[in-house]
Structure 1
Amino acid sequence: MEKNKLERNHFVLKSIGPRPTFQQDMTEEERNIMKQHIVYWTDKADKGIAIVFGPVFDPKGGYGLAIVEVANEEQVHSLIADDPAIKSGLLKTEFYPMRAVLPKQ
């Protein structure tokens, strides 16, 4: 079934670690949580929910970025709440609606 354009809402998510150097100096425990975080978001990408996700290597302090396609904002809240890195308190994630321009399928 083809998605209705009205059902395609996009949001950008920005996940921030506990310190600016987090990507370079995470502990073993933090690394294990981040592995779970990657598995979680890979599953969302496989399901077509996360269009893209990954680390951004900003010299001022790295962060994670994802663009998701969902029916409504409530789904974004659920995606964030279910993320193992959020549940553990390791990351904090903010999100904003966006108007994504995607190729026609």
Structure 2
Amino acid sequence: MKYYLCKYIPPRADFLATMSAAEKQWMKQHGAFLDDLLAKGQIVAHGPVTDPRGGYGVSLYQIPDDLDIEAVTSEDPVVKNGAGHYEHYPMMHLKARG
């Protein structure tokens, strides 16, 4: 298994306050996409981060060795629609409750 902290970077610092109707729809799809990966066991946790400099999202991934993290996150609807991108940070291991 491989482990990653992935940071979703929105297209602008005030994104959450200024989303267009299309961006709001993509964000709903983004949440469903992440929840699906959570149900499949590829994500351990995910959620938004409030930062005075601009919010972002964080996900902790646990994926099989044969999956490429960039290929996985490139399927996120917000990324597919050009509304932000991910930064990927490999982790040595991941321990979680449960």
Please, what TM-score do these two structures have when normalized by structure 2? 0.89
Kindly indicate whether residue 55 of structure 2 is the aligned counterpart of residue 62 of structure 1: yes
How many residue pairs are counted as aligned between the two chains?
98
Aligned ranges 1:41-60 → 2 under 5 Å: 41-60=34-53
Aligned to 2:10: 17
Structure with max Cα Rg: 1
Structure 2 CA distance for partners of 1:103 and 1:86, relative to 1, 3 Å: closer
Structure 2 CA distance for partners of 1:79 and 1:89, relative to 1, 3 Å: same
Moved over 6 A (4+): none
Output the CA distance in 1 between the equivalents of 2:31 and 2:73.
Answer: 13
Aligned to 1:36: 29
Kindly indicate whether residue 83 of structure 2 is the aligned counterpart of residue 90 of structure 1: yes
Output the CA distance in 1 between the equivalents of 2:79 and 2:96.
Answer: 32
Q: 1:76 corresponds to which letter in structure 2?
A: I
Q: 1:43 corresponds to which letter in structure 2?
A: D
Q: Quick check: 2:2–2:63 contact (8 Å CA) kept in 1?
A: yes
Question: Which ranges in structure 1 are unaligned for 5 or more consecutive residues?
Answer: 1-7
Deviation digits for residues 36-70 of structure 1 (CA, Å, limit 9, x no counterpart): 11111100001111101111011111001101001
